Each structure stands twice: as C-alpha cells, then as structure tokens.
Structure 1
Amino acid sequence: MSTEPIAEILDLARPPIRRSTEVAAARERTFRVFVDRLAEWWPLDPFSLGGSGRIASVSVDGRVGGTITEHWHDGSAHDWGTLLAWDPPAGLTMTWNVTGTPTEVELRFVELAEGGTRVDLEHRGWERLSLEELRAACALPGGYSGGAFERGWATIMGAFADAVREDAP
C-alpha cells in the first residue's frame, strides 16, 4: 500500500498557472518586445536549458508549427516548444517542452482603453504529467507541486514588463 497522501494519489486538481501584467505600451510594440527581444529580457539564468553562458540567441519561428529555440554557442539548438497558435499582436500558444511531457503556454496581448496592454499568461496541461514530473525540479526547486512554476512565471513576467518599460520611446 502506498504511503502517499490520498490527495496526491487522486491528484485531481492541477489548475493552470495564470499571471498578468500591464504595461504602458501599445499592443503591437508589447508583442514585438516579447517575440523579437526574447533573449534580451528573458532571465536565461535560471529559466533556460543552457543558461546565459551557453546561449548565443533565442529565436521565435513565428508561424503555427514554428519553434521557440535557444541556440548555443557550440552550434546546438534546443527547443522550448512548438507554436500551436500564432496571431500577432493578439497572442500565441505553444507547447512547453521543458516539463518533460509537453504542457501548453498561452499568451494574450489585450489592448487597454488608455493605450496600454495587459499581457495574460496561462500555463496549462498539468494533468498530462506524472506525479514524478509534477515534483521534478525545474529552474527553481519544487516543481509544479512545490510552486516553482508560479514563482518562475512571476519572475519572467516581471522581467518582461521591465523590458517593455525600458523599450519606451
């Protein structure tokens, strides 16, 4: 008989992670900063496969079926995910391969009345992962079960908002 708590055996509740940030920039510019300057603002340490010391660039192949890929100085390429939806400047949806079994990340860029943009992120599909994958350390200790993805996306969205502010004309 297993010694795991009954809640983990049943493990029915694996809600998506949701984060939003608002920036004082037009939707088109906000989307372009996200996609075109990804390697500049994304905190590659610790939120990448290779870390900033190995990564030469990060590319976004902007089309359904395209990939988001980190390119290392040694010439190798490592995909973060594949684009499932591509609708600039309204948003994108991609697989998130970093979790082992792929999950999904959706980003929506919502134009606000006062000229700013709200960026909504939803990371979903946790029900696809095994208990081991849910507990596995990712960039931060604790995995999904320990709140690492909640903390990680908060950090990433904060870095993105800072980049949009710095990009202001």
Structure 2
Amino acid sequence: MSAEPVALRRPPVRQATLVRRDVAHTFTSFVTTIGQWWPLRPVSANPERAVDVVFEQHAGGRVYECWDDDTTVVWGEVVSWEPPRRFVMTWCMTPATTEVELRFKPLGPALTRVEVEHRGWEAMSEADLAKECALPGGGYLGGSYNRGWTMILESFQESTS
C-alpha cells in the first residue's frame, strides 16, 4: 500500500513595520496615496513605463498600475475590505495568482503595526517559484519577494513620517 504524495507547504512571505500614526490614518494613507509612495522602480510590471498605482477601495475593486501611455496593468482584485483593520487582495503579478493580506493593528493612539502576508505559493511549480520578479535573486525561492515586501513597507513608513 503506497501513500499518496503530499504537496510541500510553501510558507507565506510575512513582513511588518511600525507607523507612528493612528490606525485609521495609516489604513487610509496606505490605500489613498499608494501611487505616491509605492516604489514603482523596481516593483511594477514595467518600471520604465509605470507612473501611478490606483487602489479601488471596495470588495471587488481592482488594484492596478498606470503607464505613461494610459495602459493599465491589473495587480489584483480586493476580495475582503474591512477598513481600517485589513484588506485581502488577489495578486496577479506572480506566475500563478497568489493572495496578499494587509493588517493594520493599533498599538496605541499614534502607533500602528502594518503586517503583510503574501500567501498561496503552493499553486506554483518549482520553476515558477525560482522565476525572477521585480527584484533579482530568484523569486520566492531566492527571497526576492521577502526583500520586496520589506522595501514596500519601508517606503510606506517613510511616507507617513
């Protein structure tokens, strides 16, 4: 009697930062000013052409980048919208669609912990997991997504100070 093969679990990419603002302001700033602080160079579908990011603030809304010629590239769709505490969106910028959750946790009247969890890596092959992404270094397997989310959260944190 042989056992069925078991797919290896791919741990989510998790990162966090602290923002010295209240939770409502932090959440609102994240989604309304994303085009101002998101590091489009290098974290976009086309760093040479990308000029803005738009976040449609409701379940079913899209998150997308705009290029200099009015082309739009969808990053994902909002699947859960719970301001000012969290949102979840699909992430289409990976070889197979994954999911990103952002949580905003109040730690005091003027301090918020922003946490990201990028999950769903099980849907990808080893080759997909090794594919380069916006940051060089081997995609998920090489830690590029981990470094990318660190860069993104640092950029956001700097924009709020």
Question: Could you state the TM-score of these two structures normalised by the residue count of structure 1?
Answer: 0.87
CA displacement at 1:114 relative to structure 2: 4.5
Q: Say if 2:70 is the partner of 1:75.
A: yes
Match of 1:143 among 139, 143, 149: 139
Equivalent position of 2:3 in the other structure: none
State the distance in 2 between where 1:158 and 1:57 align: 18
Q: Which amino acid letter does the alignment assign opposite residue 96 of structure 1?
A: W
Tell me, yes or no, if the aligned pair for 2:59 and 2:81 is still in contact at 8 Å.
Answer: yes
State the distance in 1 between where 2:35 and 2:109 align: 29
State the distance in 2 between where 1:96 and 1:119 align: 18
Q: Which amino acid letter does the alignment assign opposite residue 80 of structure 2?
A: A
CA displacement at 1:57 relative to structure 2: 2.1
CA displacement at 1:89 relative to structure 2: 1.0
Q: RMSD of the TM alignment (CA)?
A: 1.5
Equivalent position of 2:83 in the other structure: 88
Q: Which runs of 5+ in 1 are unaligned?
A: 1-9
Q: Say if 2:112 is the partner of 1:123.
A: no
Q: Secondary structure at the match of 1:99?
A: coil
Q: Which amino acid letter does the alignment assign opposite residue 99 of structure 1?
A: T
Report % sequence identity. Answer: 43
Q: Secondary structure at the match of 2:139?
A: coil
Tell me, yes or no, if the aligned pair for 2:22 and 2:108 is still in contact at 8 Å.
Answer: no
State the distance in 1 between where 2:73 and 2:154 align: 24
State the distance in 1 between where 2:66 and 2:144 align: 25
Deviations 1:59-116 (A, max 9, x none): 1111111110111121211001111111111111001100021100000011113531
State the distance in 2 between where 1:146 and 1:55 align: 25
Match of 1:15 among 1, 11, 29: 11
State the distance in 1 between where 2:37 and 2:108 align: 26
Q: Which runs of 5+ in 2 are unaligned?
A: 1-5
Where has structure 1 moved over 3 Å in runs of 4 or more?
A: none
Tell me, yes or no, if the aligned pair for 2:61 and 2:78 is still in contact at 8 Å.
Answer: yes
